[in-house]
Amino acid sequence: MGSLKDALLKVGIKETPKPSAPNQREKLKKKQVTEVVVHQEQRNFCENCDQVRPDVELYKHRNPTTEAEWICVRCADQLQIADTFRKTAQSDTSIRKMFRREYGATLSPNDIKSPVKTDKPKGPVNGNR
């Protein structure tokens, strides 16, 4: 004769798994955030009017009335920042070739030189920039 456990297994009664503690959760694998995930491909937040807009671009200007660099077209027109100070062509309207300025001439996306991406960090991160 076998044990009681063997007899129950022959009949078809199986052992149930032991319940885990109610406060324990399974450990999730974390991704390598800094190397794998691209954090922000397109910027759409205007630093001047604090709104999300589809036509935000980077302007390296010398206008003393604002310190914002990521500015929408409406704010750039109001601040009278020329399109020659625009450094990116990354917005939705620029990609769809609908980017138009009311103040001065509008440069074509081919004339704008995008900043070269480097693998090395350039120093401490400054929040928005």
What is d(CA 88, CA 114) in angstroms, rounded to the nearest whole number?
A: 5
For the chain, the average pLDDT equals: 79
What is the tens place of the pLDDT at every residue in 27-82?
A: 766 655 555 555 567 888 999 999 999 899 999 999 999 999 999 999 999 999 99
Amino acid 81: pLDDT:
93
Q: How many CB atoms lie within 10 A of CB 89?
A: 20
| % of the chain with per-residue pLDDT over 90 | 28
